[in-house]
Amino acid sequence: MPKLKEFRQDYYYFSGKVSENVRSLCLSAVAVIWVFKQEAGGLTTLPTALYWALLWVICALAFDFMQYLYGSVTWAIFSRSKEKKGIDQEVELLAPAFLNWPTNLFYALKILSAIAVYVQILRYLYAVIKPG
């Protein structure tokens, strides 16, 4: 029977993969948006759906950044505060759950933003390339 730490390892593995995929999907979305950009009179414009898709890409990547920035700063402060109190590196600690809530929020917002990117792209493609 699996142990709790094995489920935690699965969580770390899958959430890491989701983060990698969100980044890849966002960069791919930028390429798709670039293909469908429009040039007129020396100006580059985007159809409305692709404009929103690009904004969602920026949001998704910003949330991705914030997730890792917040997590790294929070856990650095937490561990440093324990070190200053003289707690040994090998001591098992229970951290307050609320410390990880913003990380989970940024993670969820990142995923929702990536979904919004592709909803906008699919809306645009469906409008432009209607099935026979």
In this predicted structure, what is the pLDDT of residue 41? 85
Segment 94-114, tens digit of pLDDT: 889 999 999 999 999 999 999
Domain membership of residue 81 as a residue range = 4-128
Sign of CA dihedral 93, 105, 118, 54: negative
Q: Among all chains, which residue has been given the structure tokens 């997590």?
A: 71
Q: Are 67 and 103 in contact (CB under 8 A)?
A: yes
Higher pLDDT, 52 or 82: 52
Total number of domains in the chain: 1
Segment 111-130, tens digit of pLDDT: 999 999 999 999 999 988 87
Average pLDDT over residues 57-72: 96
> Which residue blocks in 1-132 are alpha helix, DSSP H?
4-35, 48-84, 101-128
pLDDT over 80 (residue 27): yes
How large is the angle between the packed helices 4-35 and 48-84, nearest 10 degrees? Answer: 150
In this predicted structure, what is the pLDDT of residue 132? 66
Percent of the chain with pLDDT over 70: 98
Smallest CA-to-CA distance from 53 within 121, 126, 108, 109 is with 121
pLDDT, the chain, mean: 92
Question: How far is residue 130 CA from its own chain's centroid?
Answer: 31
Average pLDDT over residues 67-74: 95
d(CA 69, CA 123): 33
